[in-house]
Structure 1
């Protein structure tokens, strides 16, 4: 087996393992079910490429084995995307149409493969392939795969990008690093689009020998995608799931006095002290949707959820720093006590809200206190 074929088989092996792991985790995170199936589909495609590289797909029971899943991978990623952004998958409207091209070609390939199994010789199988226009059908499938995956891939990238833009201000500070995984995933998806489009162009405009380096580079990229996408996909399912619309009213008058009082009272009672506090938690406590809660916070404070929570936490830290009884406590311990989950998020929020570092604030307060007492 060539070095290239070895890389493909490594991709098949790691894809199978990653798919099984994700499938096992899908009971607690349903979105992972579709990600696991997408990884399996990508793995099947890598296996087909490996068999083609070793010419095994033209012998015995492996002759024309229907492993081509190029038209199945992105529809499954589309379903995964819908679940990640908290949208239901309605097969008749959102999901099913994208599976139809794969279903048509797979059905044809499966019937042909089953018929070819009963042919005793390779010549008989090749004759059957000519009668069934097998090569022409497969070539037509290759021709439509590029445009199809480019269109659907672009929709997936746009959908994820829109979702990031919508939720980035509502994710708690301690999950901010997880949010960056979205951006990495978007980069990988964009690179995948470039790989797909390059293959598409090479198929149409280049000679087969000239297109080979482009195709092999794209296929090696898919090997890397098996592991990276599986890992990243699992990581960002840990983000809270919000249903947020960008066009919800944010005027104070749009909310009742009871709703505004309930929110203020919740934070006055120290809800911000919970380091795992997120928009969903606040929404459930208030008996409102996440969408309405986000708009309520924006209406009464002109801040997003993260900024609103951090303002309360920073004010609590400032009060403690000015209390002489807390002089023997470290600044970080006070910050953690007030709901911050990491030193980095605390220092960033404190600097944004006060214009100075916590140590500078503490030193300034002590100087002012000494100056006042000496009068």
Structure 2
């Protein structure tokens, strides 16, 4: 019988299992459908399954031999989190057949091997009892292999998280989610490594006291389910949806967007297009050879600015550079502002104050000019 009294950790773990399953369902079936939700929801479900296995293994003697059905799939944790990030990074990314290769180790070691190994143990109780330490060592070694696999994906997750720079202004909230995920992942990975390594090194000592290993792990998984699960559902899934919807509107890849941003900046700066007081977004788009909508989207969504602020920024920079030249002595402040593209004194003073927090005279005084 499974102990579910209020005074046992098993009861609270069972509550967590139920919460995790409910959370995973809410996330996976959240509308509109998003692939990152699918991967993260399945991840929560597997964490719940792991906790359930801890409960059953601690409550039913020889549970794995009696019921040789895989319930823990730690080798799927990494691939699911990895794909979760890949689909955030590229909202247009489709699921590929080769993505299934990420789950082959999980199928082999935690599916087929687990089933046949514990089925053999159940059919040969005498051998199992006489080689208990060997059985523990094999299971712990398999767990350590799973953690080496997890280490690889932890590095991949960290790399992809750092490389996810889609440049849209909405990415600020997405970046916060990725930071929470990486930090939590690091704690989870460290706890599992310590637990499995200790189990292997002190196999004789922990025999009969496995609760001292599994209960702390259960607590870590519980914290992951409640902390990240509710945080994702209530705070970040909406931000991810908004970000992905906007990113999906672009017909460019991340690399192409970055190239276009650099091309725009280089063209305006190097060709000094900002010096034209009559420069308009239509004129700039025609000069670069882009549709106006593409230019507007890149300015608004990628660079978090608008056309006027973008051009005026380079006019202010040009003014700051011009006042340092010998030629500046020939002109008044207003004259210099007109040379860099400002059409009126009022607009120049307003923009300069907005950019620097100072009037032109105050700026020049601070610079000793």
Q: Which residue of 2 aligns with 1:217?
A: 216
TM-score normalized by structure 1? 0.60
Q: Tell me if 1:81 matches 2:74.
A: no
Alignment of 1:96-107 (within 5 A): 96-105=100-109, 106-107=111-112
List runs of 5+ in structure 1 lacking aligned partners.
117-121, 269-282, 316-349, 362-375
Q: Displacement of 1:203 after TM fit?
A: 3.3
Pick closer, same or farther for the CA change 1:351–1:231 going to 2, 3 Å.
farther
Task: Name the Cα RMSD after superposition.
Answer: 4.8
Q: Displacement of 1:253 after TM fit?
A: 9.4
Q: Name the CA distance, whole Å, in 1 between partners of 2:38 and 2:195.
A: 29
Instruction: Please state whether the residue corresponding to 2:241 is helix, strand or coil.
Output: coil
| Contact preservation (8 Å) 2:25, 2:41 | yes
| Contact preservation (8 Å) 1:12, 1:44 | yes
| Contact preservation (8 Å) 2:58, 2:211 | no
Q: Displacement of 1:251 after TM fit?
A: 3.4
Q: How big is each residue's C-alpha offset from its partner over 1:167-216, in whole Å with a ceiling of 9 and x where there is no partner?
A: 3x5224xx744542332222212222222332243234445539864653
Match for residue 187 of structure 1 among 183, 187, 199: 183
Q: Displacement of 1:56 after TM fit?
A: 5.5
Q: Tell me if 1:158 matches 2:159.
A: yes
Q: Which residue of 1 aligns with 2:293?
A: 286
Q: Displacement of 1:21 after TM fit?
A: 0.8
| Contact preservation (8 Å) 2:78, 2:150 | yes
Alignment of 1:275-354 (within 5 A): 286=293, 294=298, 297=299, 305-308=303-306, 311=309, 353-354=354-355
Q: Displacement of 1:25 after TM fit?
A: 1.1
Q: Name the CA distance, whole Å, in 2 between partners of 1:263 and 1:202.
A: 67
| Contact preservation (8 Å) 1:71, 1:145 | yes
Alignment of 1:132-211 (within 5 A): 137-163=138-164, 166-167=165-166, 169-172=167-170, 176-177=172-173, 179-206=175-202, 208-209=205-206
Q: Which residue of 2 aligns with 1:264?
A: 281
| Contact preservation (8 Å) 1:19, 1:37 | yes
Q: Which residue of 1 aligns with 2:259?
A: 248
Q: Which residue of 2 aligns with 1:332?
A: none
Q: Name the CA distance, whole Å, in 2 between partners of 1:248 and 1:255.
A: 12
Q: Name the CA distance, whole Å, in 1 between partners of 2:352 and 2:20.
A: 44
Q: Name the CA distance, whole Å, in 2 between partners of 1:126 and 1:31.
A: 44
TM-score normalized by structure 2? 0.61
Q: How big is each residue's C-alpha offset from its partner over 1:81-131, in whole Å with a ceiling of 9 and x where there is no partner?
A: 221111444332xx2332111101202334567x68xxxxx9756358689
Q: How big is each residue's C-alpha offset from its partner over 1:281-324, in whole Å with a ceiling of 9 and x where there is no partner?
A: xx997258x9xx64xx59xxxx9611447947x99xxxxxxxxx
Q: Name the CA distance, whole Å, in 1 between partners of 2:283 and 2:242.
A: 23
Q: Which residue of 2 aligns with 1:18?
A: 23
Q: Which residue of 1 aligns with 2:230?
A: 231
| Contact preservation (8 Å) 2:50, 2:71 | yes
Aligned residues: 285
